[in-house]
Amino acid sequence: MNFELTSQQRERQSAFRSFTDKEITPHADRYDREEKTPPEVIRKIAEQGYLGAIIPEVSGGNGWDMITFGLLCEEIGRGSTSLLSLFTVHGMVSQSLLKWGSSAQKEHWLPKLASGEIVGAFGLTEPGIGSDAKSVETTAVVSDRDYILNGQKKWISCGQIADVFMIIAQCEGKPSAFLVERNTPGFSTEPINGMLGFRSAMLAGLHFENCRIPVENLVGRIGFGFSHIAGTALDHGRYCVAWGSVGLAQACLEASLRYSSQRKQFGAYLKEHQLIQQMIAEMITETKAARLLCYHAGYLKDIGDPDLIMETAIAKYFASKTAVKAALDAVQIHGANGCGSEYPVQRYLRDAKIMEIIEGSTQMQQIIIARHGYQTINF
């Protein structure tokens, strides 16, 4: 396996970084304070073709390889992990449709998702259901040529702005997936504010009160919701979060390198103190290690290796932990300045903690990884 990027991947990586440095990083703290991402930012992202990065060209997307998409997620995550959530949930919808949607669903929805004409979001978590996702309580009941949905979802990234939602609900006692458009009668959203992190991810609660959707909006078959569709979506989400965590760790590293080169204590720059050097060395090493795990997961995705799900879980687990450690050290290096709004490291720390929770918590990844280890060893 060769981890050297192709010339095309390097060119795109440079373009992603330039876009982030110009359009995202300078404004991310303000978006965090205002708890919103302006529509024009999403429009600019769509104009770059980034929302259709891994949607096939035949469906209006770019058809980029997974390593290139990972590089995009890293750079977006370096600028704003709140904005990264757009790529996470939008991709969860598009990838689920790509794998499990009907021909008509793909033809109708994928070009719109690829162009950014519409934004997609994924609804799995509920007020009382988190990691035990197969036990969702939202219901879907057949009525003539429709399904009627009742229930709630919570903590839905981009829930305030998304145009179409892929919702996991119990139908005939089996988790199933349905597409719900924002303007559907009986469907409403409620903004969620005051979060620890991801403050500009425009989270929302979703409410379904006799929400009637056509039978054509069932994705896959009854019972596919958790084992097939949510599995596909979560694998994509974990991959996106893993790369975004690398970007966040990189942001912590860059901020720490700058600050420790400018700040003096006891007559010497911080970078000259050995304990600061220790934190910097660990930050560099762990960020590089996390990036290599993401490269490996992306490589396996590109070749269709069956181990890709496990390796993606490992990458998400390690990279999100790395982001938290890097953010903690970045705040420590900045001292009291790291706790104020003048420097972004306090946002990095708040956002990093969210990365350990979304798309499967650290503990869920540990369970998955350990179980896989027991299955592969010969006693």
pTM over 0.85: yes
The answer to whether 57 is a known catalytic residue is: no
CA-to-CA dists, residue 314 to 27, 241, 319, angstroms? 32, 12, 8
Query: Which pLDDT belongs to residue 104?
Result: 97
Query: Which pLDDT belongs to residue 153?
Result: 98
Digitized pLDDT (tens) for each residue of the chain, 379 residues in all: 677 899 999 999 999 999 999 999 999 999 999 999 999 999 999 999 999 999 999 999 999 999 999 999 999 999 999 999 999 999 999 999 999 999 999 999 999 999 999 999 999 999 998 877 788 999 999 998 999 999 999 999 999 999 999 999 999 999 999 999 999 999 999 999 999 999 999 999 999 999 999 999 999 999 988 889 999 999 999 999 999 999 999 999 999 999 999 998 899 999 999 999 999 999 999 999 999 999 999 999 999 998 899 999 999 999 999 999 999 999 999 999 999 999 999 999 999 999 999 999 999 999 999 998 888 877 6
Query: Which pLDDT belongs to residue 225?
Result: 87
Cβ-proximal residues to 54 (8 Å cutoff; 6+ apart), any chain? 61, 62, 63, 64, 66, 69, 91, 94, 95
Q: Which CATH superfamily hosts domain 226-374?
A: Butyryl-CoA Dehydrogenase, subunit A, domain 3 (1.20.140.10)
Query: Which pLDDT belongs to residue 134?
Result: 80
The whole-angstrom separation of Cα 34 and Cα 201 is 11
For the domain with range 121-222, which CATH number is right: 3.30.1330.60, 3.40.50.1820, 3.90.105.10, 2.40.110.10?
A: 2.40.110.10
Domain ranges, ordered by start, for the chain: 7-119, 121-222, 226-374
Query: Which pLDDT belongs to residue 378?
Result: 72
The whole-angstrom separation of Cα 147 and Cα 266 is 69
* Token digits of residue 255: 């901020």
Cβ-proximal residues to 91 (8 Å cutoff; 6+ apart), any chain? 54, 236, 237, 240
* Token digits of residue 135: 């036990």
Length of the chain: 379
The whole-angstrom separation of Cα 191 and Cα 160 is 6
Query: Which pLDDT belongs to residue 227?
Result: 85
- Shortest CA distance to 11 belongs to which of 78, 83, 68, 70? 68
Query: Which pLDDT belongs to residue 295?
Result: 97
Query: Which pLDDT belongs to residue 376?
Result: 82
Rounded to the nearest 5°, which phi and psi values hold at 166? -95, 115
**Are 83 and 36 within 8 A, CB to CB?**
no
The whole-angstrom separation of Cα 262 and Cα 228 is 51
Cβ-proximal residues to 267 (8 Å cutoff; 6+ apart), any chain? none
Q: For 234-275, how does the pLDDT look when each residue is reduced to its tens digit (9 = 90+)?
A: 999 999 999 999 999 999 999 999 999 999 889 999 999 999
Catalytic residue among 74, 311, 356, 359: 359
The whole-angstrom separation of Cα 353 and Cα 351 is 5
- Shortest CA distance to 51 belongs to which of 122, 103, 119? 119
User: For residue 22, how far is the Cα from the chain centroid?
Assistant: 21
- Shortest CA distance to 94 belongs to which of 222, 241, 219? 219
| Domain 7-119 class, CATH top level | mainly alpha
The SS3 call for residue 269 is: strand
Q: For 155-207, how does the pLDDT look when each residue is reduced to its tens digit (9 = 90+)?
A: 999 999 999 999 999 999 999 999 999 999 999 999 999 999 999 999 999 99
* Token digits of residue 178: 């349905």
